[in-house]
Amino acid sequence: MLDTEAADSLIAAAHRARQRAYAPYSGFTVGAAVLCADGSVLPGCNIENGALGATVCAERVAMFSAIAAGHQEIVAIAVVGAPGRLLTPCGVCRQVMRELAPDADVIMEGGGERLVMSVAELLPAPFELQPGT
C-alpha cells in the first residue's frame, strides 16, 4: 500500500493528465497515472474517436504507455474523472489491469472520497488465457 504522500502525488499526476483528455464526443474527461516499481510515473487520458469503439480509456493509455516505455512492474494506478464524483474503472480496464498490473493498488478519488482497492478486488474472476494456448 502506498503512503499518503505517494498516493497524493499520483492523484495529482492523474489530474494533470485529465487536462489533456481528448473527449469531444462524450465531454467526459478522465485522467490516470501509473507508478512503476522504478519510480517512473506515466500519465494517461481518455482519447476518443468518431468511430466510438476506437476510444481508449485513460487507464489503458497509462498502462500501455508504461509497457511501451519498458516499465514492466506497475505498483499503483490513480484515476480521476470530474471532481464531483468518484470514478471507478470500466470492465475492460479492469481486465487489462489483471494482465498488466495484477499487484497494483488502484486509487480512485472524487466527490470528496478516496477509495483504494486491489486489482483482484476490482475484478475477482477475470478471463484467463494461458500464453501459447
Total residues contacting ligand THU by CB under 6 A comes to 13
Long-range contacts of 81-87 (CB under 8 A, 24+ apart): 81/18, 81/28, 81/29, 81/30, 81/31, 81/110, 82/28, 82/29, 82/110, 83/110, 83/111, 84/110, 84/111, 85/110, 85/111, 86/110, 86/111, 86/113, 86/115, 87/30
The stretch among 56-64, 69-77, 107-115, 116-124 that binds ligand THU (CB under 6 A) is 56-64
Q: Binding of ligand THU at residue 17 (CB under 6 A)?
A: no
Binding residues for ligand THU restricted to 85-104, rule: CB under 6 A: 89-90, 93
Minimum CB distance to ligand THU, residue 57 (Å): 3
